[in-house]
């Protein structure tokens, strides 16, 4: 009888709880689920952030590559050609030339745009090694210049503001040779191409960076 009475008392107590234990269990599971969702969201954000940082670094080096390529390209024979083209056949598509200037002269509008293909025409080897896979991290496919994922990358430069520069120290100034100071504006661009029709709905985005430098090139024939 004692065991029956004890069981009745426990049953009465459970009836008085009105599902409190089930509520506590449900709230605990909900809290654990929210923690898990937060962890998944944090991990996803970390992956996206690291990808954006990598792409930003690639874009930075592409822009730097343009400045270095321009300095390498501006040899004596080339600077004579490019300066002549800037002053006689200025490119009208240059983004670094202000279009709203009230008074424009040939010196303020002089510009020559050079793409990576034109800059690298005389260089040995390819500028970029393309990734030949159709999906990221494709088995058996070697990474390209931008990693193991389909990515487009390019750069172009604009030469502007040609100004006569002083000859270097101890350089003969009686040979009718001149030096020119040029502004180099380099634009680096990257855009990943995931294997989906609309790349803007994924982690991909277009990244651009602009660098500017002043270089002294020459010698070249002084203008008559």
212/67 Cα distance (integer angstroms): 8
Cis peptide before 219 (omega within 30 of 0): yes
Please answer whether residues 96 and 66 qualify as being in contact, where contact means their C-beta atoms are separated by less than 8 angstroms. no
CA atoms within 13 A on the CB side of 31: 6
Q: How many domains in the chain?
A: 1
128/153 Cα distance (integer angstroms): 8
Note down the domain range covering 174.
2-221
> How do residues 137-176 score in pLDDT, each as one tens digit?
888 888 888 888 788 888 999 998 888 888 777 776 677 7
pTM: 0.71
Phi, psi of 213 (to 5 degrees): -150, 155
Helix (H, G, I), strand (E, B) or coil at 94: coil
> How do residues 15-38 score in pLDDT, each as one tens digit?
666 666 777 778 888 888 888 888
């Amino acid at each position: 009888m004692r065991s029956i009475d004890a069981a009745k008392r426990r049953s009465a107590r459970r009836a008085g709880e009105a599902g409190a234990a089930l509520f506590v269990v449900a709230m605990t599971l909900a809290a654990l689920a929210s923690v898990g969702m937060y962890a998944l969201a944090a991990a996803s954000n970390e992956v996206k952030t690291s990808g954006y940082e990598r792409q930003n670094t690639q874009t930075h080096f592409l822009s730097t590559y343009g400045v270095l390529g321009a300095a390498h390209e501006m040899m004596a024979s080339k600077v004579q050609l490019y300066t002549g083209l800037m002053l006689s056949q200025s490119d009208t598509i240059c983004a670094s030339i202000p279009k709203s200037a009230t008074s424009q002269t040939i010196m303020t509008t002089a510009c020559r745009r050079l793409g990576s293909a034109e800059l690298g025409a005389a260089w040995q080897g390819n500028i970029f090694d393309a990734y030949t896979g159709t999906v990221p991290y494709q088995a058996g496919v070697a990474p390209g210049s931008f990693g193991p994922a389909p990515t487009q990358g390019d750069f172009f430069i604009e030469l502007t503001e040609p100004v006569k520069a002083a000859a270097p120290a101890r350089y003969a100034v009686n040979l009718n040779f001149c030096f020119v100071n040029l502004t180099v504006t380099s634009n680096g661009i990257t855009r990943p191409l995931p294997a989906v029709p609309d790349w803007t709905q994924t982690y991909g985005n277009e990244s651009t960076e602009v660098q500017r430098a002043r270089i002294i090139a020459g010698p070249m024939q002084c203008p008559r």
